[in-house]
Every structure is written in C-alpha cells, then in structure tokens.
Amino acid sequence: MSTVQTTLILLKPDAVQRGLMGRIIDRFESKGLQIVGAKLMQIPRSLAERHYEAHRSRPFYPGLVRFMTSSPVMALAVRGVNSVAICRRLMGATFGSNAEPGTIRGDFGVSNSFNLIHGSDSPEAAVRELELFFAPGEVVDWTRGADAWVYDLSSGTPE
Ligand code: IDP
Ligand code: MG
C-alpha cells in the first residue's frame, strides 16, 4: 500500500562534527524523499531523555543521553511513500561495525554507539518523535515539482 509518511531523522553529533550532514542528506534527496523540516539544534537533556525513554533501563542509556546532548544535531522531517521503512533501510543496521556497505551507517562509520543517525522505527514512533522535535508550523507542507517524475501519479495515488 502506498501511504505517504513523514519520519523523524536526527543527524547525531558525530555526523555534524565530522562534516557529513550534506552527504547524508544527499542520500535521502537522491532516493526521491522530500525534506519537509530541517533545523540545527542543541538538544536539552530533558528532550534526549524523552526521545530515548524506551531505552531508559538499558546500560547504554546514560552514555546515549550524554552523547546526544554533547554537541548539536540536525533534525529532519523526511516525507515520502513508506518513508519510515525506506529511511531505516537507507540508515542500515544499528552498529556501524556490521552495517552493510551502501547504507549510511555502513559507509560512514565503524562505531556502535557513535552511529551517525537516528530514524523513527514505526509510523507511530514517527508521529511521537516529530512532535518532540518540531513545533507546529516547522514542518513545511510544500509541493515538489519533481514528484511527477519521482512517482507514477497516473492512478491518482503515488506509485
Ligand atoms: P536504532 O538507532 O537503530 O533504532 P536502537 O536499538 O533503538 O537502535 O538504539 C538506539 C541508540 O542507542 C542506537 O542508535 C545507538 O546510538 C545506541 N545503542 C544501542 N545499543 C547500543 C549498545 O549496545 N551500545 C552502545 N550504544 C547503543
Ligand atoms: Mg530505535
């Protein structure tokens, strides 16, 4: 089924510090996904804790919160048909050490905790996480001319 979704992507502090923002955003744009929100931000501790609250009891949680608040991140809202799953596949496996070549984590990193990127793992998580990172109006609903060539629109829905 072709459902247009918007997902939250975070370029983590290591991606920003290593100057990889442009090359990572290029992966999403080249794939045909649409950027509908973008901002560089320093995450307050409370936001990092809420964002990763499902991992609160895990041993890596304190270090993860420290990492995510150590330096700016870039938050992106990325839209497209099935964008949640497509973004997860573009990102690759969680650990840089075994992420497949061709994926963002596979091509740009080796670390298991400094793994460059976050992406929502379900449509429900995407809704929750976009609300955490983007205020109303910060996600911009804009019409992309290229949609007519990115998708087959002949049936009335993007295929
Ligand atoms: P995901 O980012 O691929 O969805 P999750 O299992 O949701 O992976 O974990 C969230 C984040 O926590 C990871 O992206 C990584 O930064 C960190 N993390 C997960 N497992 C470990 C671990 O075993 N050691 C160190 N950091 C970890
Ligand atoms: Mg996750």
% of residues, the chain, pLDDT over 90: 99
Q: What is the pLDDT of residues 23-59, one digit of tens each?
A: 999 999 999 999 999 999 999 999 999 999 999 999 9
pTM (global) more than 0.85? yes
H or E element in which residue 118 lies: strand 117-119
Q: Please tell me the predicted confidence (pLDDT) of residue 2.
A: 79
Whether 51 sits among the annotated catalytic residues: the reply is no
Mean pLDDT value across residues 75-91: 98
Q: How confident is the model at residue 105 (pLDDT cuts 50, 70, 90)?
A: very high
Q: Which CATH superfamily is domain 23-43+72-120 in?
A: Nucleoside diphosphate kinase-like domain (3.30.70.141)
How long a stretch of residues is the chain? Answer: 159
Distance CA 97, CA 47 (A): 28
What residues does each domain of the chain span?
23-43+72-120
Ligand 1 atom with least separation from CA of 88: 3
For residue 71, pLDDT beyond 90? yes
Is the pLDDT score of 100 beyond 90? yes
Q: Are 65 and 118 in contact (CB under 8 A)?
A: no
Check pocket membership of 103 for ligand 1, CB cut-off 6 A. no
Write down the pLDDT at residue 1. 67
Q: Catalytic pick from 77, 118, 120, 133?
A: 118
Is the beta carbon of 130 within 6 A of some atom in ligand 1?
no
| Ligand 1 atom at shortest distance from the alpha carbon of 91 | 3
Residue-by-residue DSSP string for 66-107: HHHTSS-EEEEEEEEETHHHHHHHHH--SSTTTPPTTSHHHH
pLDDT higher than 90, residue 77:
yes
What is the whole-number distance in angstroms between the Cα of residue 152 and the centre of ligand 2? 31
